[in-house]
Amino acid sequence: MTKKKILLTGFGKFNGVDDNPSSHLINEINIHLSTYNPKDLQFELVNTQVLEVSGRGVTEYLKDVEDKYLINLDDIILLHLGVASQSQNIALERFGWNKANFRTPDERGWSPVDQDIQPNEKRVNIETKLPLKTFVDNLSKRHKVFESEDPGRFICNYLYYLSLSKTLLKKDLHSLFVHIPPFEVIDKQSQLMFLVDLMNEISTTV
């Protein structure tokens, strides 16, 4: 079986969160993977990247995905991480919503209010094609995880909606956004283990 190829992102600092836990997971995931038997990994982690918390940073990243990966590679899956500071569990986001309503300016000073991300899109939201119920059923045996329908309307949702839409990415890719809690709630090692389990779930299901 050909291993699915995963592009994994997290976010850097933003207003109110100077030390984003998702960036730590991105920076340490490859070291963590080196502790596994390669036979136990059903995926290939092609790229990891910490994104700037800005609309421009997101669109620049997706343009890079289109230019660097989609032309030459098949079976690409986009997996995005972001922090939900008040959460007690890990959330798999079901929808990306076609609305940008930033509670604070992004890192480049952009602060849209109730603005459509794609004005020409008639859809209110786009649903991931990944089987989240199956993922939650399987992963909840070892992790605190649930399915969410509300990723907010800040940069996390902005990235998710665009990665589910064909507006920037011409191919119809599988994409998933995951909101993680702070490490004080679920420690970093447990979240790294969750991430590996999730990527295995995705790769053996799709």
pLDDT digits (tens, 9 = 90+) for 54-70: 999 999 999 999 888 87
The pLDDT of residue 147: 98
Q: What percent of the chain has pLDDT over 90?
A: 81
The pLDDT of residue 170: 65
pLDDT digits (tens, 9 = 90+) for 4-42: 999 999 999 988 778 899 999 999 999 999 999 999 999
> Is the full-model pTM beyond 0.85?
yes
Q: Number of structural domains, the chain?
A: 1
Specify burial of residue 78 (Cβ count, 10 A radius: 0-12, 13-18, 19+).
Answer: buried
DSSP sequence for 90-156: EEEE-EEES-B--SS--TTS---SSB-SSTT---SEEE-SS-HHHHHHHHTTTS-EEEES---SSHH
Specify burial of residue 88 (Cβ count, 10 A radius: 0-12, 13-18, 19+).
Answer: exposed
Closest alpha carbon to 145 in 78, 189, 194, 183:
194
pLDDT band at 168 (very low <50, low <70, confident <90, very high): low
Residue numbers of the domain that contains 25: 4-205
Count Cα atoms within 13 angstroms, Cβ side, for 166: 4
Closest alpha carbon to 22 in 145, 195, 141:
195
pLDDT band at 75 (very low <50, low <70, confident <90, very high): confident
pLDDT digits (tens, 9 = 90+) for 92-142: 999 999 999 999 999 999 999 999 999 988 889 999 999 999 999 999 999
Q: What is the CATH number of the domain that holds 160?
A: 3.40.630.20
The two structure tokens encoding residue 61? 């990243």
Closest alpha carbon to 140 in 69, 96, 89:
89
pLDDT score of 73 more than 80 = no
Average pLDDT over residues 148-157: 96
The pLDDT of residue 187: 97
d(CA 161, CA 170): 14
Closest alpha carbon to 136 in 186, 198, 87:
198
